[in-house]
Amino acid sequence: MESKTMHRANVVWTNFCRFALGIVFIFSGFVKADDPYGMVYKLQDYFVAFGWTDFMPSFMPLFLSCLLAVFEFTLGVYLFFGIRKRLTSIAVALVMLVMTPFTLYLAIANPVSDCGCFGDALKLTNWETFWKNIVLLVLALWLFKHYRLVVKFISKKNQWIISMYGILYSVAIVSYCIFYLPIFDFRPYYIGANIKEQMSIPEGEEPPVYDTTFILEKDGVQKEFTLDNYPDSTWTFVDSRLHLVKEGYVPPIADFSLRLYDTGDDVTDFILSEPGYTFLLISPSLGDADDGSIDLINEIYDYSMENGYPFYCVTPSPEEEVEQWKDRTGAEYPYLIGDETVLKTVVRSNPGLVLLKEGTIINKWSFQNLPDEYALNGRLEEIPLGQIQQMPLTHRVGIVFLWFIVPLAVFTLLDNWYHLYQARKNRRAQGA
């Protein structure tokens, strides 16, 4: 009796480990597939931190981002359905055995502030990521030892159907989000967000308080100073550091700013308070920007001028790249300066187009799906393009979930029905 009880307990715990790991891998893979360029930027941070940028091909970050998304998602599907139990348990254990020491290094050395495991959907500190991986490693090692206790939801003969669907589904999500934009925008610049409101501190809340330490040098000796004991001009400035003195409310958007390219004057409030519509062509790097849709961009610019809508190109690119872009495209629109990291956060495309109305994001487009003359068939006040068209979050979740779970459920039920039918048929044959 005791052995049976222990066996049942082992079966329950093993399958709990399998489902927990499966959910984590499916979620991690999906959020990477939903925002492939977000993972690209995170991988680029890693390459810079480790000094790998010189020998890394330009296509590699996007390739690795897509590959990682598909791999994690598919591995999660394998875990959930009990496909290739031994091979899957080995793969999961190896992944965790590699990632756990790696995240320990990240926690200690802190080369990047966020590992990017769950993209922008769930931000974890490096130490939180490490302890999360410790838990997952324990589950993975248990599953590796007891993989035979995993209950399969699909027959061995039809495993390939679920496998292929998991791969194709994740590839489809990645492809869609590269061509368009993320289905789920977990950043503060989502469609419908008012940037000014996202930058403000609610009434009753206090901002965090920081203390600045200045590192200065004189006669080869470096010392730290504060504003209270700042020395004379004989000391040379080296660096400054901020120290958190008191925690407070940090608004979702804290670093959005726009400056005139020619003069450097801050025009953030002017742009965000502009009555009516404003087009912002966003490019974190004009030197790397795709110019394949430049004809459409120029048409949108002409449309904006005809209808009195301001149109700006926002970029941190140096003057020579701006001039090269003008020469390649014939662009005549004015330019603003924005922070590269912020612009990558605003829209996952280079270039990307953002439509604002009094600081509210009405719509965003990648360079691959810009609106054409058929969509721009009237003033923005009168056509659907000028209205927020974003599908409600619950609808998007429902569609994505149903496209994933319904076919898998149908495949599973048909497979189980077929095997029950075959078993009954065999029993009847034996009875005869």
The pLDDT assigned to 431 comes to 63
The pLDDT assigned to 432 comes to 55
Strand order in the sheet with 236-246: 221-225, 209-218, 236-246
Other Cβ atoms closer than 10 A to 343? 23
Three-state SS for 313?
strand
Residue pLDDT tens, the chain, 432 long: 457 888 888 888 999 999 999 999 999 999 999 999 999 988 888 888 888 877 888 888 899 999 999 999 999 999 998 888 999 999 999 999 999 999 998 889 888 877 778 888 888 888 999 999 999 999 999 999 998 988 887 777 778 888 888 899 999 999 999 999 999 988 999 999 999 989 888 877 777 777 778 788 888 888 888 777 778 778 887 777 767 777 777 888 888 899 998 888 889 999 999 889 999 999 999 988 888 888 899 999 999 999 999 999 999 998 899 999 988 888 889 999 999 989 999 999 999 999 999 999 999 999 998 998 888 888 999 998 888 877 777 888 888 888 888 887 787 777 777 777 777 777 777 765
- For residue 220, CA distances in Å to 1, 125, 223, 230, 381 come to 78, 37, 10, 18, 64
Using an 8 Å Cβ cutoff, are 362 and 384 in contact? Answer: no
Using an 8 Å Cβ cutoff, are 189 and 355 in contact? Answer: no
Other Cβ atoms closer than 10 A to 177? 23
Using an 8 Å Cβ cutoff, are 271 and 314 in contact? Answer: no
The segment(s) of the chain belonging to CATH 3.40.30.10 are: 259-386
DSSP labels, 358-378: TTEEEEEEETTS---TTT-SS
* Single-letter amino acid code for the residue at 315: T
List the structure tokens of 176.
């869609």
What number of helices (H) and strands (E) belong to the chain?
12, 9
The pLDDT assigned to 114 comes to 78
- Those residues whose C-beta lies under 8 Å from the C-beta of residue 62, and which sit 6 or more positions away, are 36, 37, 40, 178
DSSP labels, 260-302: ETTT--B-HHHHHT-SSEEEEEE-S-TTT---TTHHHHHHHHH
Give the residue from 179, 191, 196 showing the smallest Cα distance to 364.
191
The pLDDT assigned to 2 comes to 53
With 0.85 as the threshold, say if the pTM is over it: no
The pLDDT assigned to 209 comes to 75
What architecture is domain 259-386? Answer: 3-Layer(aba) Sandwich (3.40)
List the structure tokens of 231.
């020395």
Q: Rounded to 10 degrees, what is the CA torsion of 145, 148, 150, 156? A: 140
Three-state SS for 122?
coil
Cis preceding-peptide flag for 36 (omega within 30 of 0): no
List the structure tokens of 239.
């660096």
Distance from C-alpha of 54 to C-alpha of 47, rounded to nearest angstrom: 9
Distance from C-alpha of 237 to C-alpha of 240, rounded to nearest angstrom: 8
The pLDDT assigned to 343 comes to 93
- Those residues whose C-beta lies under 8 Å from the C-beta of residue 90, and which sit 6 or more positions away, are 144
